Amino acid sequence: MTIGALIGAYQEDDSGGLRALLPLAGRTLIEYQVRCASAAGAVPIVVVVERVPQTLQDAFERLRLDGVAVFPVSDVNEAISRFEAGSAILLIGDGVVPPLDLVTRLVEDPEPTVATVPDDEQHDSFERIDAQSRWAGVATVDAHLLGSTAAMLGDWDLQSTLLRRTIQEGARLIRASDDGGEPLLTQSAAQLASFERELVHNSRGERTDWSSRFVLPFLEDLATEQLLETPVRPQWLIWGALGLTLAGAVCFTRGWLGAGLVLLLLSTPLDMVAARLSSIRLKPLPVRMLSRRLLWPAAGVALLAIGLWETRHGTGWGSLVAAAAGCAFAEAARIEKATMPSGGELWLFSRRNAVFLALPFALGGVWTAYLIAILVYAALSFFIVQRVRHSSPELTRS
């Protein structure tokens, strides 16, 4: 069954502006709500508005530029025309900040479902359903109810009336907290601050190498928080990391070894920051993203460029052989690691680890020694991975 989404964006916050325009993660609340619905597979996404100020229009434009189909409507009949007959509708209340897991759970349920929170002092701002529960601000309803509800609406609130008719029709009630988090019904920007901090914290991915775990966390957190407020797209950061890596390789071929290393160091956190921004904005980066996949071979080109410079300026062909052999062992280790369970590769060879390993050798001006260290590091990583794989019956069979 296809599912669309109906989101309210007409109620005012404590300052007299629209709740939908409260700031969240560098964007607006309505953008987060729409992205939640889009991430759960809802199409189309209809936003019920009374007026469209320029700030709201800008938010809709940003969503469309990201490929999210969103349609603002001020007339109920226009909203009805946007949904296919027989489809389901994801209902997100005005000012509600829903966890993505809860939205996904409701969308996957084949029956109309209403998420609830307890009827207590902590949730007294939510709409009461009965003596025990209140509406958590998220529900799925049948599209046919939208038309019949519009016919009897009058001066009543569309979402509230649609919710109550859905409950009368026998919709299933579930506790929102069963998914590990509850929606937030916000009235002010201050209420969203803690949720934003939680979003930023939860965006931290698994740190699989020692450089990302011990060296880069502070810089990565700082860059993520600063870039949230900008129009910078995650894809630009990946391309930036690739460009810095290739520029570093060019510097190595010209003998500007220090400058090349600085460029590589600048590139190391960018792919992680990009992944975090895309996670916060609920639009994960494609798994087979070309620029992301090119980072590894580009780092190999930079290593070969160091070997080429050292070969031409003092140490002979052995430097280039060491660089090439290091690249070969690193690639073999990377391929073998793909079948290993995550969590055991912290000290193994990685692109970031190789870059930071260059620092002491660069300070001493012994780049040939660095190439030999890379060869040894990559070879040891390969043999360790081989040992782990062949000592585990499950990995051996795979």
Here the CATH number for the domain that contains residue 240 is 1.20.120.1760
Q: How many Å apart are CA 27 and CA 59, to the nearest integer?
A: 8
Q: How many Å apart are CA 30 and CA 71, to the nearest integer?
A: 12
Same domain, 274 and 379: yes
Q: How many Å apart are CA 366 and CA 63, to the nearest integer?
A: 51
Question: Would you state the pLDDT for residue 51?
Answer: 86
- Report if residue 104 sits inside a domain: yes
Mean pLDDT calculated for residue range 139-153: 82
- Report if residue 213 sits inside a domain: no
Mean pLDDT calculated for residue range 78-90: 88
Does residue 225 have a pLDDT over 70? Answer: yes
Mean pLDDT calculated for residue range 78-107: 91
Same domain, 179 and 250: no
Q: What is the pLDDT of residues 131-140, one digit of tens each?
A: 899 999 999 9
Same domain, 91 and 11: yes
Here the CATH number for the domain that contains residue 146 is 3.90.550.10
Kindly indicate the confidence band of residue 179, based on its pLDDT and cuts at 50, 70 and 90.
Answer: low
Same domain, 315 and 186: no
Does residue 343 have a pLDDT over 70? Answer: no
- Report if residue 230 sits inside a domain: yes
Same domain, 156 and 112: yes
Mean pLDDT calculated for residue range 388-395: 68
Residue 110, classified by CB atoms within 10 Å of its CB into exposed (0-12), middle (13-18) or buried (19+), is exposed
**Six-digit token string for 255:** 């003998």
Q: What is the pLDDT of residues 61-80, one digit of tens each?
A: 999 988 898 999 988 888 88
Q: In the chain, which ranges are continuous DSSP H helix?
A: 29-39, 54-65, 76-81, 100-108, 143-151, 158-168, 189-202, 210, 217-227, 234-254, 257-267, 270-280, 290-310, 318-337, 351-364, 367-391, 393-397
- Phi then psi for 224, rounded to 5 degrees? -60, -45
Kindly indicate the confidence band of residue 296, based on its pLDDT and cuts at 50, 70 and 90.
Answer: very high
Does residue 273 have a pLDDT over 60? Answer: yes
- Report if residue 111 sits inside a domain: yes
Does residue 155 have a pLDDT over 60? Answer: no
Question: Would you state the pLDDT for residue 387?
Answer: 87
Amino acid (one-letter) located at 215 = V
Question: Would you state the pLDDT for residue 211?
Answer: 96
Q: Which of 175, 191, 207 is the last residue of a domain?
A: 191
Q: Which of 166, 191, 216 is the last residue of a domain?
A: 191
Kindly indicate the confidence band of residue 178, based on its pLDDT and cuts at 50, 70 and 90.
Answer: confident
**Six-digit token string for 172:** 């299933």
Same domain, 248 and 369: yes
- Report if residue 218 sits inside a domain: no
Pairing of strands 113-118, 70-73: unpaired
Q: How many Å apart are CA 385 and CA 382, to the nearest integer?
A: 5
Mean pLDDT calculated for residue range 161-185: 86
Comparison of pLDDT for 249 and 85, the residue scoring more = 249
Q: Which residues contact 115 (CB under 8 A, 6 or more apart)?
A: 102, 106, 135, 136, 137, 138, 139, 174, 175, 176, 183
The range of the structural domain enclosing residue 48 comes to 3-191
Same domain, 115 and 248: no
Same domain, 29 and 163: yes
**Helix 270-280 / helix 217-227 crossing angle, nearest 10 deg:** 50
Question: Would you state the pLDDT for residue 389?
Answer: 78
- Report if residue 338 sits inside a domain: yes
Q: How many Å apart are CA 191 and CA 194, to the nearest integer?
A: 7
Does residue 392 have a pLDDT over 70? Answer: no
Same domain, 116 and 159: yes
Q: Which of 191, 217, 244 is the last residue of a domain?
A: 191
Question: Would you state the pLDDT for residue 156?
Answer: 59
Total domains in the chain come to: 2
- Report if residue 221 sits inside a domain: no
Same domain, 133 and 14: yes
Kindly indicate the confidence band of residue 390, based on its pLDDT and cuts at 50, 70 and 90.
Answer: confident
Comparison of pLDDT for 103 and 392, the residue scoring more = 103
Kindly indicate the confidence band of residue 15, based on its pLDDT and cuts at 50, 70 and 90.
Answer: confident
**Six-digit token string for 271:** 């792919």
DSSP 8-state secondary structure symbol assigned to residue 286: P
- Report if residue 374 sits inside a domain: yes
Mean pLDDT calculated for residue range 122-137: 91
Same domain, 25 and 170: yes
Does residue 304 have a pLDDT over 60? Answer: yes
Q: Which of 337, 166, 352 is nearest to 264 (CA)?
A: 352
Question: Would you state the pLDDT for residue 310?
Answer: 95
Same domain, 186 and 232: no
Q: How many Å apart are CA 258 and CA 314, to the nearest integer?
A: 18
